[in-house]
Amino acid sequence: MNVYDSDRMSASLQTKGYRVEPNPANADVILINTCSIRAKSEQKVLSLLGQLRPLKKKNPEMVIGVAGCVGQRMGRTLLQRVPHLDLVFGPDSIDRVFDLVESARRHGKRAVDTQMDGPGRTYTQPAVIHEAKPAEFLTIMKGCDHFCTYCIVPFVRGREKSRPIAEVLDDVRKLVARGTREVTFLGQNINTYGKGTPENLAQLIEQTHAIEGLERIRYVTSHPRDLGTDLIEQFGRLEKLCPSLHLPFQSGSDRILKRMSRLYTREQYLEKIRLLKQACPEIALSTDIIVGFPGETEEDFQSSIDVVREVGFTMAYMFKYSPRPGTRAFAYEGEEVPESVKDERLARLQDIAMAPIEAGNVALIGTKTPVLIESMDKKALYYSGRSPHNRRVHVLNAGDACIGKILEVEVTEANASNLRGYYVGAPRLDRRSQEGLPAPVCHA
Ligand code: SF4
């Protein structure tokens, strides 16, 4: 969502005459878009702001701003803490970015804009399309009505609001007309898209599926309680709906799930997994897991390991619990799991979770998979994209002309995080072993 918001800010400014300057030292405006989901990401923002101080000293006209959830959470405090910061604004102010930046540049006044949208179940936010990438994110809703006790999101992004289906479809059509082949719908709790209106996510998926030229549809993030049977059955029926789903379980212990206020039990979670596999046996499932939530015992932790073993995820994102001021869990004083125990549990869980994920990827060596090529990697050694099952695939013999194409790729190497292989329609030139780069090839 933050990548999408950053692109949106960038596109808004570019449509008004700004251009992207890769070297911060030469920029007139530096905006840092931020995440406050964990304490560490907030610390990183402060450290980056410290690094920017010499640039501001050299060029006092430069405007430095902090956007997003840290801006929303800290507001004026951040401005007071960082004297060389000009602008602080939250996620709901992103559409005002041009006015905010212009005002800071013209009047030289430091400003805070953390005003959140008023009440209501809908909002409109047509995409600012500056360029369309082969695979695009599209925010369709914002905020969250769940108050998981560890989570800062409802405080910094507000209550749930959805964009109308007609507006979202219009964006998708515009993106497709400019070359987008895959769209990922974004929402904090996307299964309840349309809540309080006659529209819902299943309808949006059906109608998006009918758009000609679009090849792939995905959505994140799902909540195990709100993932309904209407959404589950679509995985077995709709060709363009990619067979992959991110379904965080956070803890395998019912006691901890209750303390997290996740509103489901481990059995209910596993039942959703069973239904998903029944609807779409090839579905690739990924998850989020928190270790060391206040009060988590070794037995609770073992329950999380059991779920990992039982489901067979294709990817798992594992985190140590990070206390966030203002949340309910922040007040669970005296029940903190010691940092050393969290570290040990995280390491243990990572070993247990990642071994089968790697084995699963290695088992794909020799198979073929369609890959939508999105970009070249930073070292220019391969082109990269994703399989329908959301695996990152590096293609060793592709060229510029392949960007935006779906290539049939034979997998020849694999590790826990990605696959590598060759596009079957071109000679096996390996970019990694070439002095110069091979001529771009693409017959797709
Ligand atoms: S459902 Fe997700 S975004 Fe909403 S409060 Fe829970 S963890 Fe946060």
The tens digit of pLDDT for each residue in 165-213 reads 999 999 999 999 999 999 999 999 999 999 999 999 999 999 999 999 9
2, 153, 161, best to mutate for ligand 1 pocket (most atoms within 8 Å of CB): 153
- Cα separation, 349 vs 307, in Å, equals 11
Q: How far is CA 145 from CA 23, 155, 159, 190, 290, in A?
A: 40, 10, 5, 11, 20
Rounded to 5°, angle at Cα 392 from 247 and 318: 40
Contact in structure between 257 and 265 (CB atoms under 8 Å): yes
Run of H or E residues at 163 = none
pLDDT score for 426: 87
Tell which CATH architecture fits domain 368-433: Beta Barrel (2.40)
Q: Which fold has domain 118-242?
A: Transcription Regulator spoIIAA (3.30.750)
pLDDT score for 48: 96
CA of 262 to the centre of ligand 1 (A): 8
Q: How far is CA 363 from CA 14, 316, 407, 414, in A?
A: 45, 18, 20, 8
Strand ranges (E), 71-133: 87-89, 111-113
Average pLDDT (120-147) is: 92
User: Quick count: other Cβ atoms within 10 Å of Cβ 179?
Assistant: 14
CA of 188 to the centre of ligand 1 (A): 7
CA of 144 to the centre of ligand 1 (A): 6
- Percent pLDDT > 90 in the chain is 86
pLDDT score for 127: 87
| Closest ligand 1 atom to 261 CA | 6
User: Quick count: other Cβ atoms within 10 Å of Cβ 133?
Assistant: 17
pLDDT score for 362: 98
Q: How far is CA 97 from CA 68, 90, 110, in A?
A: 11, 10, 14
Q: Which burial class, exposed, middle or buried, applies to 275 when counting CB atoms under 10 A from its CB (0-12, 13-18, 19+)?
A: middle
CA of 222 to the centre of ligand 1 (A): 10
CA of 345 to the centre of ligand 1 (A): 23
Local confidence band at 433 (pLDDT 50, 70, 90 cut-offs): low
Contact in structure between 74 and 89 (CB atoms under 8 Å): no
Q: Which fold has domain 277-363?
A: Transcription Regulator spoIIAA (3.30.750)
pLDDT tens-place string over residues 332-374: 988 999 999 999 999 999 999 999 999 999 999 999 999 999 9
pLDDT tens-place string over residues 216-253: 999 999 999 999 999 999 999 999 999 999 999 999 99
Average pLDDT, the chain: 94
| Closest ligand 1 atom to 262 CA | 6
CATH 3.40.50.12160 in the chain is located at 2-113
The pTM score is: 0.92
| CA torsion angle 303 309 290 46 (round to 10) | 160
Closest CA to 6 of 65, 46, 83: 65
pLDDT score for 338: 96
Here the tokens at position 60 are 């006092």
CATH of 2-113, one of 3.40.50.300, 3.40.50.12160, 3.40.50.720, 3.40.50.970: 3.40.50.12160
CATH 3.30.750.200 in the chain is located at 277-363
Spatial neighbors of 275 by CB under 8 A, at least 6 apart, are: 229, 232
Run of H or E residues at 358 = helix 339-362
Spatial neighbors of 193 by CB under 8 A, at least 6 apart, are: 140, 141, 162, 185, 187, 199, 200, 201, 204
User: Quick count: other Cβ atoms within 10 Å of Cβ 350?
Assistant: 15
- Cα separation, 121 vs 44, in Å, equals 34
- Cα separation, 138 vs 15, in Å, equals 19
Spatial neighbors of 169 by CB under 8 A, at least 6 apart, are: 204, 207, 208, 211
SS3 227: coil
Contact in structure between 398 and 442 (CB atoms under 8 Å): yes
Going by alpha carbons, the residue nearest to atom 8 of ligand 1 is 151
2, 139, 148, best to mutate for ligand 1 pocket (most atoms within 8 Å of CB): 148
Contact in structure between 66 and 49 (CB atoms under 8 Å): yes
| Closest ligand 1 atom to 188 CA | 3
- Cα separation, 309 vs 142, in Å, equals 33
| Closest ligand 1 atom to 157 CA | 3
Contact in structure between 168 and 213 (CB atoms under 8 Å): no
CA of 252 to the centre of ligand 1 (A): 17
- Report the DSSP pairing between strands 182-186 and 135-139: parallel
- Cα separation, 276 vs 427, in Å, equals 39
CATH 2.40.50.140 in the chain is located at 368-433
Local confidence band at 439 (pLDDT 50, 70, 90 cut-offs): very low
CA of 44 to the centre of ligand 1 (A): 22
SS3 152: coil
Local confidence band at 432 (pLDDT 50, 70, 90 cut-offs): low
Spell out which residues line ligand 1, taking CB within 6 angstroms: 144, 146-148, 151, 153-154, 188-189, 223
* pLDDT-wise least confident of 1-5, 191-195, 318-322, 411-415: 1-5
Residue 435 has pLDDT above 80, yes or no: no
Here the tokens at position 266 are 């481990």
